[in-house]
């Protein structure tokens, strides 16, 4: 039995938006992960193209889904959907899913420095990008660190925390997650050290987004979606923090109602959907999920 750690979020809702009006349904899972959503998409589609930038987790999904013969795997970032599909002469896509961010696998199993709960080397790379969390923490200037914390962690104390890290690394390099966590903890006001959200959460989030260029890649991917979709093709976006959700929301706002160079979409749900209380109870990491659904208008 394989050890799958990530429970697919809002699976019933995802299923409910898979269109049944296509004779031949081609679907795309832009974020395969351990393949929880792909398992269902493969059953409901004639062909499924699953994208995943992390080769390690992709292998796990491939093993899990080995009995399906209608899945093509693409070990690349989802901004390449717009080039990979035409290159493979794939027809227009009827359903696309973006389950954004990282998987629970990355926090619990990957040992690549995503979590400050374990003591591992600072890495956080999802793919073969050259810059690691170690480089960001030890080589970025104080101003660059401050910008990363401000932009990707939306931290009010971005400047102070950047200064604290630069002071600490002037004594010795910061190599592990625990060393970084310790610095953040001791530079957090005593009354905030034991808040519900650990003081290191936003610093780690910001560094991960910087290392993997997550928001820029998402914004780039959004611009290519329209071209890949069939008439009335559906896209489901699931985001887990405000920066991702904002990127999706702003893109959709700009391309709803008014047609411009990126096409035209119709919002299927006026308000975001969120997991039920029951799902959150069963699978607490689902609690921050926000789902937006759109349809292509030709």
Ligand X SMILES: C[S@@+](CC[C@H](N)C(=O)[O-])C[C@H]1O[C@@H](n2cnc3c(N)ncnc32)[C@H](O)[C@@H]1O
Which residues sit at the interface with ligand X, rule CB under 6 A? 6, 8, 31, 33-37, 51-54, 57, 77-78, 99, 101-103, 126, 217
Residue 114 beta carbon to ligand X: minimum distance, rounded to whole angstroms: 10
Query: What are the residues facing 295 on neighbouring strands?
Result: 234, 266
Cβ proximity to ligand X, 113 vs 199, nearer residue: 113
Query: Least Å distance between CB 253 and ligand X?
Result: 22
- Minimum CB separation from ligand X for residue 143, in Å? 27
Listed residue (74, 90, 82, 97) closest to 18, CA to CA: 97
In angstroms, give the least distance from the CB of 254 to ligand X: 21
Closer residue to ligand X (CB): 99 or 146: 99
Measured distance CA(187)–CA(204) in Å, rounded: 15
Residue 157 vs 212, nearer CB to ligand X: 212
Q: How far apart are CA 265 and CA 296, in angstroms?
A: 5
Residue 73 gets which letter from DSSP? E
Which H or E element spans position 150?
A: helix 142-153
* Choice between 78 and 251, CB closer to ligand X: 78
Q: How far is the CB of 142 from ligand X (least distance, A)?
A: 28
Q: How far is the CB of 282 from ligand X (least distance, A)?
A: 15
> Nearer to ligand X by C-beta: 35 or 233?
35
| For ligand X, the closer CB: 22 or 114 | 114
């Amino acid at each position: 039995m394989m050890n799958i750690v990530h429970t697919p979020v809002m699976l019933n809702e995802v299923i409910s938006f898979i269109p049944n009006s296509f004779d031949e349904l081609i679907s795309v899972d832009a974020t395969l992960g351990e393949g929880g959503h792909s398992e269902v998409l493969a059953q409901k589609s004639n062909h499924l193209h699953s994208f995943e930038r992390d080769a390690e987790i992709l292998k796990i999904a491939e093993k899990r889904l080995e009995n399906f013969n209608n899945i093509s795997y693409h070990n690349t970032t989802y901004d390449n959907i717009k080039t990979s599909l035409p290159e493979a002469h794939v027809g227009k896509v009827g359903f696309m899913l973006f389950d954004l961010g990282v998987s629970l696998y990355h926090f619990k199993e990957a040992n690549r420095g995503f979590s400050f709960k374990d003591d591992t080397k600072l890495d956080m790379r999802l793919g073969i990008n050259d810059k690691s969390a170690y480089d960001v923490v030890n080589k970025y200037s104080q101003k660059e660190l401050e910008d990363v914390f401000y932009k990707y962690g939306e931290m009010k104390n971005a400047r102070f925390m950047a200064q604290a890290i630069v002071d600490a690394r002037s004594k010795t390099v910061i190599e592990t997650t625990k060393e970084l966590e310790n610095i953040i903890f001791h530079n957090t006001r005593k009354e905030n050290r034991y808040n519900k959200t650990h003081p290191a959460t936003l610093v780690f989030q910001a560094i991960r987004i910087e290392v993997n260029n997550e928001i820029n890649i998402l914004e780039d991917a959004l611009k290519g979606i329209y071209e890949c979709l069939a008439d009335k093709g559906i896209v489901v976006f699931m985001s887990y923090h405000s920066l991702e959700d904002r990127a999706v929301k702003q893109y959709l706002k700009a391309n709803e109602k008014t047609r411009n160079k990126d096409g035209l979409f119709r919002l299927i749900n006026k308000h975001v959907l969120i997991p039920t209380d029951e799902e959150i109870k069963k699978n607490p990491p689902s609690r921050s999920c926000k789902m937006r659904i759109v349809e292509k208008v030709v």
